[in-house]
Amino acid sequence: MSKKPAARKKPQVPSPKALAPSPKSRKHVYFFGNGKADGNRNMKDLLGGKGSGLAEMTNAGLPVPPGFTISTDVCNIYYKEKQKIPAAIDREIADHVKQLERTAGATLGSIENPLLVSVRSGAKFSMPGMMDTILNLGLNDESVEGLKNRTKNGRFAFDSYRRFIQMFGNVVLEIPKAAFDHEFDAVKKARGAKIDTDLDEAALREVVQRYKKVVKERARKDFPQHPHLQLTMSRDAVFRSWMNPRAIEYRRIYDIPDHIGTAVNVQMMVFGNTGDRSATGVGFTRSPATGAKEFYGEFLINAQGEDVVSGVRTPQPIRELEQVLPKAYAQLRQITTRLEKHYKDIQDFEFTIQDEHLYMLQTRSGKRTGYAAVVIATDLVAEKLITPKEAILLVDPESLNQLLAPGFDQDEWKSIPTATKGLPASPGAASGQVVFTADHAVEWTAQGKQVILVRRETVPDDIHGMFVAQGILTATGGMTSHAAVVGRQMGKPSIVGAGELEIDEHAKRFRVGAKTVKEGDYISFDGLTGEVKIAQVASKPSEILQALNGTLDRKKSDIYQRFEKLLSWADKVRRLGVYANADLPDQAALAYAFGARGIGLCRTEHMFFGEGRIPIVQRMILADSEADRRAALNELLPLQREDFYGVFKAMRGCPVTIRTIDPPLHEFLPKREDLMVDVARLETAGTSGAELDEKRRLLHRVEQLHEFNPMLGHRGVRLGITYPEITEMQTRAIIEAACRLNKEGVRIAPEIMIPLVGLVKELHDQKAIVDRVAADVMKEQGITIKYLVGTMIEIPRGCLVADQIAREAQFFSFGTNDLTQLTFGFSRDDSGKFLKVYQEKKILEKDPFASIDVEGVGDLVRVGVERGRRGRPGLKLGICGEHGGDAASIHFFHQVGLDYVSASPYRVPVARLAAAHAALSVKVGD
Ligand code: ADP
Ligand code: MG
Ligand code: MG
């Protein structure tokens, strides 16, 4: 969309250069007002979410104060030009100020009729509390008197002025809020005022004087009186706030790129602080916590915007607005219902009522919990507002995890007395040790503890602690406070406004009733009911899991029904198959219940760790001769056969891919250091005999097997080639189990997968063994079954010669864990340390082990797919790395044409939904 203006200017064949926007010709400022806007809802990239919403509402004829949006491009230009705005753009902004003055019938800086504006940040993605807004800009020592004369309301004029100085001082001049609060409290105290509305004009004049002194002392200059200067300084401060540390941290957590920039909205002020016929508030068209269809929100009489969320006064529930200002309330209901229908999604809105006139200040799709997302999506379909396809796109695949998170055992929970109740801001069960600062939350979590962050109220700087905590509990704030909004978005259990908590953050303790809770004590809470208890409470599987495993009647679980419905819609539109990585029968059964219709990776070696098996495996490894090794393998055979039988059975005839042994053998032996200690201990104790001999033998073998770089050493297909009898035993176990099931009437066709192949001859060697043993077994069993032999493609060379390999392989499964490791040369087990720094320094945007590196590793996959299919048309292709459960990676696998992804059982629902998103998305990578 960014290409249009330039393309229009140059009618000849556009070269790539001509398509790029030229800074001169391009429009940078977009007006809205009087029922018409330059922008619309589809321009979020350029106008940010707020700007595009204001434009759309203006076009729809809703009461929106006029203004203009400075585009996100300007933010990028600002940074490119070393924090300067080019003169041409400055002029464009000045022209729009004039247009706004004409529309508003008021003039910036005028004494008789001053125009006041807000300067509001707004990026494409909303970042609650991360960036800054300034209200009442345009006031100075003269215009404040003008405002007073015009409105005959001196209290209002000086209330607005003190707010402006504080916000400007804080945001632009970077003076801590506390410096202003200190003065404000002093005046309140001196005048015996309990809340801000108790202060009269004289008191507020004094506050203004004191605030100006704070500015003079802290910023070493006078509060700027010139409105145009106030405006440019505020605009630049908003651009600067894009790069403040907490905004950067926020974007890192939510994977929002830095380069998209923020827009700046300059908008005529409307006033909720002119008296008790005025108000300001925020709300949702449905509950963002549970999804229930109820009008939801909060407001304050005689207040301005920030008051509602900042907790200076406790806001009233929005229902009460109906009694106080019935006409405005009715209009608000009507407008927000219309907005929800228009956007086909739950709306989160801001409004201000000035002397009974309603104004809309913001609308956007409401952030919601995973639980609410599923409820809302299925409800909107039932209400015929959206189609099932649209419903699929309304739920972020990742958020389904919240529905699978455990809850409390209700019997235990009910047996513990409730210490207090707060507002249920974000559902889920949380239990952990109390900490009072975000830094402690991070420290303690790093030590392996589970913590609950308890704060009077959270601030945007707490984001890192909120991220790691099990849950968030605050004493103040409403359902739309910072803690509530962020908690919901993170899917983190949260309770806010638990007013009975007396928190002493310095002493690191809180009191509730007669009880005192210190840092480190355990508490638990239920974010759905708001109940807090002073105890550690064990959790219990989620309702959905209970419904799936039969401990709860599926028909009785509303959320299970909705979950299933949504996923069944997803199944209809997705092209990718969804398999699971499962090694044992019970995992396979869970995966099947979650909707996996195949096993993409069954790691046989995990079975070796089963009860009583390790000694047999060690005997096999320690064997000096092939005969001894075969004897040990013969003992393993029946055990493996039972495992495979169980997995096949749990999958009810769906494809099951079994990988032959992969890890280096030393992983099955004790650690060298441990053995050395044991041997030394036995020697000094003077012990001799079988135990010492055994330990010495083990140590000797461990030393023999020692490798400098085991991940690149004797593992995978290399084991099968050097010890063919292992491949023989595993094949026999697989085919015998499959024959038995086929005889029992379950038609299963196992897929035998050879790991770590880079040379076609490696596979050729192993396939010959598999085919020979399979033929023997089928003959013995008197039954013929179908089976496939394929390989994991996880070595870069394997991708490059995929055409050759495909002539031997009947399927490929991309092992993207090893492929990532080998392509980057990053050890998966050691890269944690430096990858963190890589991400901080933006050398890598994402951890390539979590989300596929599309450019590099992804390109190898693409090559493997193309060459593989060239070698064998119709070759079956899947992926079984961790990436199989990652939504962004699934988009790529869809695009590159794989047949299925295989994810861990708990990620199967996420993968089903992500695969549907991929199939529905017009543009991949959007
Ligand atoms: P945020 O993104 O943090 O919500 P906003 O830019 O939306 O920041 O503004 C903060 C508060 O100020 C909101 O309550 C908003 O409604 C209010 N506000 C912003 N602009 C105006 C305006 N022109 N008139 C009245 N209130 C405003
Ligand atoms: Mg807002
Ligand atoms: Mg591997």
Ligand lying nearest the CA atom of residue 122: 1
| Closest to 758 in 3D by CA, of 721, 705, 708, 710 | 721
pLDDT-based confidence at 254, cuts 50/70/90?
confident
Q: What is the dihedral of CA 412, 414, 416, 420, to 10 degrees?
A: 140
Strands 522-526, 788-793: parallel, antiparallel or unpaired by DSSP? unpaired
Q: How far apart are CA 579 and CA 878, in angstroms?
A: 9
Q: How far apart are CA 328 and CA 278, in angstroms?
A: 10
Catalytic residue chosen out of the listed positions 28, 482, 883, 894: 482
Q: How far apart are CA 89 and CA 23, in angstroms?
A: 9
CB 731 within 8 A of CB 752: yes
Of all protein residues, the one whose alpha carbon is nearest to atom 11 of ligand 1 is 305
pLDDT at 461: 77
DSSP 712-726: GSS-THHHHHH-HHH
Residue written as token pair 């720094």: 837
Q: How far apart are CA 73 and CA 2, in angstroms?
A: 10
pLDDT at 695: 87
Strands 316-317, 117-123: parallel, antiparallel or unpaired by DSSP? unpaired
Strands 599-603, 577-581: parallel, antiparallel or unpaired by DSSP? parallel
Bigger pLDDT: 407 vs 294: 294
By most ligand atoms within 8 Å of CB, the mutation choice from 265, 308, 362 for ligand 1 is: 362
pLDDT-based confidence at 43, cuts 50/70/90?
very high
By most ligand atoms within 8 Å of CB, the mutation choice from 352, 363, 482 for ligand 1 is: 352
H/E segment holding residue 539: strand 539-540
Of all protein residues, the one whose alpha carbon is nearest to atom 20 of ligand 1 is 118
| Distance from the alpha carbon of residue 350 to the mean position of ligand 2, in angstroms | 6
By most ligand atoms within 8 Å of CB, the mutation choice from 68, 120, 121 for ligand 1 is: 120
- The token pair that represents 758 in the structure block: 């880079």
| Distance from the alpha carbon of residue 265 to the mean position of ligand 1, in angstroms | 10
**Can you say whether the dihedral through the CA atoms of 709, 715, 717, 718 is positive or negative?**
positive
Average of pLDDT values for 595-623? 88
Instruction: Give the chain's count of helices (H) and strands (E).
Output: 39, 34
> What is residue 651's three-state secondary structure?
coil
Of all protein residues, the one whose alpha carbon is nearest to atom 23 of ligand 1 is 269
| Closest to 658 in 3D by CA, of 771, 574, 582, 549 | 582
pLDDT-based confidence at 489, cuts 50/70/90?
low
CB 172 within 8 A of CB 166: no
Of all protein residues, the one whose alpha carbon is nearest to atom 19 of ligand 1 is 118
Q: How far apart are CA 333 and CA 694, in angstroms?
A: 80
Average of pLDDT values for 27-50? 96
Ligand lying nearest the CA atom of residue 281: 1
Average of pLDDT values for 179-202? 94
For residue 33, is pLDDT > 90? yes
Atom of ligand 1 nearest to the CA of 265: 6
Predicted confidence (pLDDT) per residue in 836-854, tens digit? 889 888 899 888 998 999 9
| Distance from the alpha carbon of residue 199 to the mean position of ligand 3, in angstroms | 70
Rounded to the nearest integer, the mean pLDDT of the chain is: 92
Of all protein residues, the one whose alpha carbon is nearest to atom 8 of ligand 1 is 133
> What is residue 39's three-state secondary structure?
coil
| Distance from the alpha carbon of residue 363 to the mean position of ligand 3, in angstroms | 48
Determine which of 216-225, 253-262, 817-826 has the lowest per-residue pLDDT on average. 253-262
| Distance from the alpha carbon of residue 121 to the mean position of ligand 1, in angstroms | 9
Atom of ligand 1 nearest to the CA of 267: 23
Q: Which amino acid is at 406?
A: P
How many CB atoms are closer than 10 A to CB 804? 18
CB 423 within 8 A of CB 402: no
**Can you say whether the dihedral through the CA atoms of 514, 517, 521, 523 is positive or negative?**
positive
| Distance from the alpha carbon of residue 756 to the mean position of ligand 3, in angstroms | 6
pLDDT at 830: 81
Of all protein residues, the one whose alpha carbon is nearest to atom 9 of ligand 1 is 133
CB 235 within 8 A of CB 212: no
Atom of ligand 1 nearest to the CA of 270: 24
Predicted confidence (pLDDT) per residue in 382-434, tens digit? 999 999 999 999 999 988 988 888 789 878 999 999 999 998 888 889 999 99
Residues in the chain: 926
Burial of 466 (0-12, 13-18, 19+ CB in 10 A): buried
| Closest to 597 in 3D by CA, of 613, 582, 612, 614 | 582
pLDDT at 925: 34
- The token pair that represents 292 in the structure block: 């229930």
Ligand lying nearest the CA atom of residue 135: 1
- The token pair that represents 846 in the structure block: 């994402």
Q: How far apart are CA 375 and CA 473, in angstroms?
A: 25
Looking at the DSSP assignment, which residues form a beta bridge with residue 533?
524
Catalytic residue chosen out of the listed positions 602, 654, 739, 880: 880
Q: How far apart are CA 877 and CA 173, in angstroms?
A: 59
The backbone torsions φ and ψ at residue 119, rounded to the nearest 5 degrees and listed phi first, read: -120, 110
DSSP structural state of residue 541:
-
Atom of ligand 1 nearest to the CA of 67: 23
H/E segment holding residue 434: strand 429-435
CB 613 within 8 A of CB 639: yes
Q: How far apart are CA 61 and CA 56, in angstroms?
A: 9
DSSP 454-490: EESS--GGGHHHHHHSSEEEESS--TTSHHHHHHHHH
| Distance from the alpha carbon of residue 263 to the mean position of ligand 1, in angstroms | 14
How many CB atoms are closer than 10 A to CB 461? 14
pLDDT-based confidence at 21, cuts 50/70/90?
very low
- The token pair that represents 420 in the structure block: 């207090």
Average of pLDDT values for 361-380? 95
Bigger pLDDT: 2 vs 517: 517
Q: In angstroms, what CA-CA distances link 436 with 440, 454, 484, 518, 772? A: 7, 5, 17, 9, 66
| Distance from the alpha carbon of residue 491 to the mean position of ligand 1, in angstroms | 26
| Distance from the alpha carbon of residue 627 to the mean position of ligand 2, in angstroms | 75
pLDDT at 882: 83
Ligand 1 is surrounded, with C-beta below 6 A, by 65, 118, 120, 133, 135, 267-270, 305-306, 350, 352, 361-362
Of all protein residues, the one whose alpha carbon is nearest to atom 27 of ligand 1 is 305
Average of pLDDT values for 39-56? 96
DSSP structural state of residue 198:
G
CB 508 within 8 A of CB 436: yes
| Closest to 45 in 3D by CA, of 3, 103, 8, 89 | 3
Atom of ligand 1 nearest to the CA of 271: 25
For residue 328, is pLDDT > 70? yes
Ligand lying nearest the CA atom of residue 717: 3
482 is catalytic: yes
Ligand lying nearest the CA atom of residue 352: 1
Of all protein residues, the one whose alpha carbon is nearest to atom 26 of ligand 1 is 305
Atom of ligand 1 nearest to the CA of 121: 6
